[in-house]
Structure 1
Amino acid sequence: MEDIRTASSAVDLALFVDLFDAHAADIVTRLNEEDADTAAAVLAYLPLERAIDVFDRPELTRAGDLLLDLPQDRAGEILKGMADDRAADVLQELDGEDRSELLQRVDFNSAWPLKSLLAYPESTAGSIMSTEFVSVPATYTVADTLRHIREVERTRETVYAIQVLDPKTRVLLRVVTLRQLITGEPEQPILDLAPDREPITVHADMDREEVARLISIHDLLSVPVVNDRHQVLGIVTVDDVIDAILAEGSEDVQKFGGVEGASEPYLTTGFLGMYRKRVGWLGALFIGEMLTASAMQHFADELAKAVVLTLFIPLIMSSGGNSGSQSTSLLIRALALGQIRLRDWWRVALRELPVGIALGASLGVIGMIRIAAWQSFGVFDYGPHWKLIGLTVGVGLIGIVTFGSLAGSMLPFLLKRMGFDPASASAPFVATLVDVTGLVIYFSVALLILQGTLL
């Protein structure tokens, strides 16, 4: 109660009482709704273990700023008690100066693992791995291993996978699960319980999406990260992968909409941050749409002679953009899941070509029926050459939808080959590309069909 009375001078007493015995997840939810000063004040007076649990939750927003707002000793104790991979994620949110300030608040033995994790590029296995894993020499028995687990359990990310190492070289020999361990006899060598096969491992520079795929395929709770000498650097656990997948998914969804990927929640992103993340793509798309205006200017004479063709421009452009967006979405997902590789581009093109033709033909038939119906029932008079106009729209849709499908399916391959994220082939980008080419295709078809009549 002394903590509560002390805290009442800094935060609302009712709030502190509500959170004092609450679950860490509930505390995180409530603190995310409070302003930074109130959240920091609550965290300053919570029991240390509870405060560490709160900071270990990836759902906690502004975690780095909240640590900076805490007293130096308190921030150092929390940072030292956090899981290394989570602490590294929090430090990654900060700029270099603030990051260095927080690292100075912990001792050398606690700081060097964090610095090692921060050195790995974002989105790699090294950036999400934990250095707090259970390992034992191959000379241990089952009883020795169980005793070791009891001694180190509170300081390890997980105890469900035990890394069995060569006692001299520290090379990874086998991985024994906790289930296998508890079925063994006390005096049985630990190696006797391990499967007779090389353990599945990853390197620190492997993309985290590939790590997620391996964990999913092999139903693993964790996977060891090794160096070139096959020594264990850390482990990536399934919960780390889930957090990474959620972050990657959010970033990809934002890119699909033509927005630079953002890690901060929407309501905590400032005006300048929101502006910077949107203006680049929006400007690029605007410049791309200028090409559409140029294409229309090129066919200005044809438009003047056959104004009726302009009625179908929105229909034409949207159909091509939609088909391209569909193909892009399918291909980006397939690439992310490893269902296709870069060398499969020609197979994809051969699949998309007939599909695009069939889709375009279907839309073309609908468009022609619509023109015929409007003409027949007197809804709109397309003139004496309405049949040719309908044919122009139908054939144009076949060409535009086919091109949209091909372009939308090939762009992810092209971007990935150039080293960019395929998600950058977002729907607005594909739609802009198809808008320009769609107009060229549409009016080229019109020149062929309507030559000598309307044109």
Structure 2
Amino acid sequence: MSYSIIAAELHKALQDQDTALVETLASELNPADLAQVGHHEPASRMAVLLHCVPLDKRAATLGFLEPQEQLAATAGMPVSELAELVAHMSADERVDYFKQLDRERQQTLLKALPPTVRDDLLKLARHAEGTAGAIMTSAFMAIPAYYSVARAMQTLRLKGADVETIYQVYCIDTSGRFLGTVSLREIILASSENQLAELMTEEVIWVGIDTPQEEVARLIARYDLLALPVLEGERLVGIVTYDDAMDVAEEEATEDMHKGMSIGKIEGGLRSASLLDLYRKRVMWLVLLVFANIFSGAGIAYFEETIEAYIALVFFLPLLVDSGGNAGSQAATLMVRGMATGDVRSRDWARLLGREVFVAAGLGLTMALAVSVVGIFRAGTEIAMVVAMSMVLIVIVGSLIGMILPFILNRLGWDPATASAPLVTSIADASGVLIYFAIATAVLGL
């Protein structure tokens, strides 16, 4: 059966409290699909669903849930049962869950965990959020470089089931100092008498525990890595796998998108966000932009005599200022994304500025040609000329505002994503009003 059919039947079985059928249906879905079903169920039903699957699958499913869903689904779980579940989670997901708990629940859980799991959890939990240390896992395969291939294979068979990946083996010396890596492919193809030191690659891309998580994700994407070693000093303390890097990339892209629309970071996702949280994340910039738009009103008030003499000018005002804002938003989006991916650097601003002038001029001329036809039929040749000239200049200015603002914010040490569409639009609108009526006043002889 397809996922949609099983999910619908599982939803009905949970509603009917038919645990036998829930167990049967749940056995046909993988942990990611079970979590997807759980996204649409109340916490009480999600708790039932977790109880109806084997422990390993339950732990994996919990790792796929959103933080608030994890807390809700395990809120009524006895500590002994919760400790067993947490112990079976992957190291990095275990830490993420642990950090969501309140202090009392954390202390109770720590006492119930096996000593080795507790020590590993505390070691990983000490790293600051947003760093490589916070997203790494300690479940990696590290083997002394002096081991022979035969002995390394024996170690892989014994410990391979407990690590995130065995496709890359990390070579260390007797004091735990990181020396290099060797792939599983190379180990399999090598002679059993060879030492890992003879096979390993010493030039390895690595990061420190305090490296920002977005830099980690960028390195994994750039070098197409399955995992990236994390060092503390010269010691290997963890790895960041590509799936965790994908989660970081998605998180950063979502955050940039929110910033691009002047929305603060929403913890836990949109579905679980409270009304008050949604209000707080959106209200500040909207209020600030209200006052920014006063400049547009002031510009209109300053040119009241021009408007009174040629009331037809008002017809084209929204069209012109929106065009400048739209062009600025496009330019800002291109620049912010280019800076985020590393495609654009601050030193590139002068070259990009020159290119943007030519591109914006071409866009403005094309749009001016289109709108001048409307201007001639609506208000005559003189007004059409004013509108066409204004369109070209407004689009150029709006585009330059959208391109330059991210560079300025970056130079000030602020996130370039703050150069959001609403902010660029507000600045471009005020500029557009002044440009339009200034040209009208000059051309029409007022």
**Deviation readout 1:381-410 (Å, 9 max, x if unpaired):** x2xxx3222221112112211111111112
Query: For residue 39 of structure 1, what is the amino acid of its counterpart?
Result: M
Give the partner amino acid of 1:12.
D
Q: How far apart are the structure 1 equivalents of 2:144 and 2:287? A: 58
In the alignment, which residue of structure 2 is the partner of 1:139? Answer: 146
Secondary structure at the aligned position of 1:56 is classed as helix
| Alpha-carbon distance in structure 2 between the residues aligned to 1:61 and 1:90 | 10
Over 3 Å counting, the alpha-carbon distance change for 1:128 and 1:290 in structure 2 is: same
Q: How many aligned positions are there? A: 433
Range with greater deviation from structure 2 (274-283 or 395-404)? 274-283
Q: Tell me, in whole angstroms, the C-alpha distance in 2 between the residues paired with 1:210 and 1:255.
A: 19
CA offset digits 1:83-131 (Å, max 9, x no partner):
1111222334455555555445424532343344344343332222111
The one of 268, 271, 291 equivalent to 2:272 is: 268
Q: Are the structure 2 counterparts of residues 286 and 107 from structure 1 closer, same or farther at C-alpha, using a change threshold of 3 Å?
A: farther
Report if the CA contact (8 A) 2:66-2:268 is conserved. no
Counterpart CA distance in 2 for 1:276 and 1:387 is 49
2:216 aligned with 1:211: yes
Matches for 1:107-126 after TM superposition, within 5 Å: 107-126=114-133
- Cα deviation 1:113-165 (Å, max 9, x = unaligned): 33443443433322221111110112111111111112212221111111101
Which of residues 432, 439, 451 in structure 1 aligns to 2:433? 439
- Residue equivalent to 1:73: 80
Are the aligned partners of 2:323 and 2:395 in contact in 1 as well (CA < 8 Å)?
yes
Look up the match of 2:10: none
In structure 1, the residue matched to 2:53 is: 46
TM-score, normalised on structure 2? 0.90
- Code of the aligned partner of 2:177: V
CA pair 352-103 structure 1, distance change in 2 beyond 3 A: farther
How far apart, CA to CA, are the structure 1 residues paired with 2:106 and 2:444?
A: 68
Relative distance call for 1:84 and 1:258 in structure 2 (3 A) is same
Contact 2:39–2:65 (CA under 8 A) maintained in structure 1: no
- Greater Cα offset, 82-91 or 13-22: 13-22
Shift of 1:78: 1.4
User: 2:258 pairs with 254, 263, 268, which one?
Assistant: 254
**Match of residue 390 from structure 1:** 384
Distance 1:369 1:235 in 2: 62
| Partner in structure 2 of residue 188 of structure 1 | 194
Deviation at 1:295, TM superposition (A): 2.4
Partner of 1:362: 366
- TM-superposed CA distance for 1:39, in Å, is 0.9
Distance 2:308 2:135 in 1: 61
**One-letter amino acid of the counterpart of residue 244, structure 2:** D
Equivalent residue of 1:29, what SS? Answer: helix
CA RMSD, 1 decimal: 2.5
1:349 to 347, 353, 358: 353
Aligned partners of 2:14, 2:375: CA distance in 1, in Å? 74
The whole-number CA distance in structure 2 between the counterparts of 1:357 and 1:25 is: 50
User: Residues of 2 paired with 1:99 and 1:415: CA distance?
Assistant: 40
1:410-436 per-residue CA deviation (whole Å, 9 max, x = no partner) reads: 222222233332222221221111111
Does structure 2 retain, via aligned residues, the 8 Å contact 1:142–1:181? yes
Matched, 1:417 2:411: yes
SS in 1 for 2:364: helix
In the aligned structure 2, how far is the partner of 1:443 from the partner of 1:151?
A: 78
Amino acid in the other structure paired with 1:183: L
Structure 1 residue 311 and structure 2 residue 318: aligned? no
The alpha-carbon distance between structure 1 residues 167 and 70, as it changes in their structure 2 partners (threshold 3 A), is same
Paired letter, 2:117: S
Measure the CA separation in 1 of the matches of 2:345 and 2:54: 51
Sequence identity of aligned pairs in percent? 32
Please report how far the alpha carbon of residue 178 of structure 1 lies from its aligned counterpart in structure 2 after TM superposition: 1.0
Judge which range, 34-43 or 248-257, deviates more. 248-257
**SS of residue matched to 2:271:** helix
TM superposition shift of 1:255: 2.5
Alignment of 1:32-111 (within 5 A): 32-57=39-64, 62-94=69-101, 99-100=106-107, 102-111=109-118
| Contact preservation (8 Å) 2:168, 2:183 | yes
Aligned match of 1:3:
none
How far apart are the structure 2 equivalents of 1:354 and 1:113?
57
User: Is the 2:289–2:422 Cα contact (8 Å) retained in structure 1?
Assistant: yes
**Measured at CA, do residues 103 and 309 of structure 1 come closer, stay the same or move farther in structure 2, by a change above 3 Å?**
farther
1:24 is matched with which residue?
31
Give the alignment partner of residue 371 of structure 1, picking from 368, 375, 385.
375
Instruction: For structure 1, list consecutive stretches of 5 or more residues without a partner in the other structure.
Output: 1-6, 375-379
**Aligned partner of 1:126: which letter?**
G
Question: How far 1:219 sits from its partner (Å)?
Answer: 2.1
User: Structure 1 residues 112 and 439, CA, compared in 2 at 3 Å: closer, same or farther?
Assistant: farther
Q: Is the 8 A contact 1:8 1:16 kept in 2?
A: no
Q: Do 1:44 and 1:70's aligned partners in 2 also have CA atoms closer than 8 Å?
A: no
Instruction: Work out the CA distance in 1 between the residues paired with 2:408 and 2:125.
Output: 31
Question: Are 2:227 and 1:233 aligned?
Answer: no
* Worse-matched range after superposition: 289-298 or 215-224: 289-298
The answer to whether the Cα contact below 8 Å between 1:247 and 1:263 also exists between their aligned partners in 2 is no
Residue 399 (structure 1) aligned with residue 393 (structure 2): yes
Using the TM superposition, give the Cα deviation of residue 207 of structure 1 relative to its aligned residue in structure 2, in angstroms. 2.7
Partners of 2:362 and 2:29 in 1: CA distance? 59
* Change over 3 Å in CA distance of 1:400–1:160 after alignment to 2: same
Inter-CA distance 288–15: structure 2 relative to 1 (3 Å threshold): farther
For 1:149, the aligned partner's letter is L
Cα 1:429–1:114, aligned 2, differ >3 Å: closer, same or farther?
farther
